[in-house]
Amino acid sequence: MEVAISQKVKRVSYWSAAWRRFNRNKMAVAGLIYITIIIIVSIFTPWIAPYPYDEPHYAHTFEKPSAKFWWGTDDLGRDMFSRNLYAMRNALLVGFGSQIVVLIIGVIIGSIAGFRGGFIDTLLMRITDIMYAFPTFLFNVILVTVMGRGLFTILVAVGLTGWAGMARLVRGMVMYLKHADFVEAARALGAKESYIIRKYILPNMLGPIIVSLAFGIPNGIWIEAGLALIGMGVRPPMPSWGNMIGAGIGYIMGFPHMVIFPVLTFALTLLAFTYVGDGLRDALNPRSEV
């Protein structure tokens, strides 16, 4: 009888089940397609962009979209389409890069706090609480003032201020998992700690960490643009959605195309990442049905 049942049940791995659940969410799939396209475009931006981002055409300033300049030109006659491509590239770089920093710091602090417990846990969580309650954008601005306004320093600054949520998440999971029944069972059977961490704890943490990172990317993107908007982001002439909007807002009554295109691509990118994050959250939660 047991044999009959086990023959009928087809084993589905966690990841293929998750992929199946993800595919059922149409908006998440659309978002993923959009993100894949913009990542590919961003890698090849220097070859795709029709003009360099800083090449002025003084005979063609404030031009409306045309065959020559697809998305028009700005106050210096620079091609808006090319500038937008570079801005998108910078945004993605900071969005993804900052999450690598978040991952490293968050996982280290969270797992030390979770595994050690006691005084170290209390101390680390106090620091995390401060970071969590503090308007971290202030720290971003101060860090950028101190470290300089390059793309790399901006992504490090965003990462340095954004790890509190990740640290809390990892700590909570470690605290639960280290005493979870299946871990106790493995320990009772004589499994080594390193084996338990590799085989049971890490795989179980992966899903929530991926979801948290997916939501962190749009966060990093808007901080990068926000810094540029107030003049603390990448240095001009390097474009960012923030400094393009900041420059365009002064001419918005006469030349709204200088703002419309950056705003639309920016908003679309944020939406796409959020839909993918939503899709991942539903897909990677093992309690939702297959």
User: In the complex, which residues of this chain contact another protein (CB under 8 A)?
Assistant: 127, 130, 133-138, 141-143, 145-146, 148, 218, 222, 225-226, 229-232, 245, 249, 252-253, 256, 259-260, 263, 266-267, 270-271, 274
Tokens 């063609």, residue located: 60
Q: Smallest gap, in angstroms, from Cβ of residue 276 to another protein?
A: 12
Q: Smallest gap, in angstroms, from Cβ of residue 266 to another protein?
A: 6
Q: Smallest gap, in angstroms, from Cβ of residue 44 to another protein?
A: 27
Nearer to another protein, 115 or 215 (CB): 215
241, 87 in Cβ contact below 8 A? yes
Say how far apart CA 160 and CA 157 lie, in whole Å: 5
Say how far apart CA 260 and CA 74 lie, in whole Å: 12
Give the distance, in angstroms, between the CA of residue 76 and the centroid of all CA atoms in the same chain: 32
Nearer to another protein, 120 or 185 (CB): 120
Residue 155: both structure tokens together:
């992504």
Nearer to another protein, 46 or 148 (CB): 148
Nearer to another protein, 141 or 191 (CB): 141
Q: Smallest gap, in angstroms, from Cβ of residue 199 to another protein?
A: 36
Nearer to another protein, 151 or 217 (CB): 217
Question: Measured in Å, how far apart are the chain's first and last C-alpha atoms?
Answer: 25
Surface-to-core class of residue 186, CB atoms within 10 Å of its CB (0-12 exposed, 13-18 middle, 19+ buried): middle
Among 229, 241, 236, 251, CA closest to 80: 241
Each residue of 13-46: b (16+ CB within 10 Å) or e?
eeeebbeebbeebeebeebbebbeebeeebeebe
91, 38 in Cβ contact below 8 A? no
Give me Rg for the CA atoms of the chain: 23
Nearer to another protein, 43 or 142 (CB): 142
Q: Smallest gap, in angstroms, from Cβ of residue 136 to another protein?
A: 8
Nearer to another protein, 151 or 272 (CB): 272
What type of residue is 139?
F
Say how far apart CA 280 and CA 21 lie, in whole Å: 9
Q: Smallest gap, in angstroms, from Cβ of residue 267 to another protein?
A: 6
Say how far apart CA 222 and CA 270 lie, in whole Å: 8
Say how far apart CA 53 and CA 76 lie, in whole Å: 11
Nearer to another protein, 174 or 234 (CB): 234
Q: Smallest gap, in angstroms, from Cβ of residue 108 to another protein?
A: 19
Q: Smallest gap, in angstroms, from Cβ of residue 230 to another protein?
A: 5
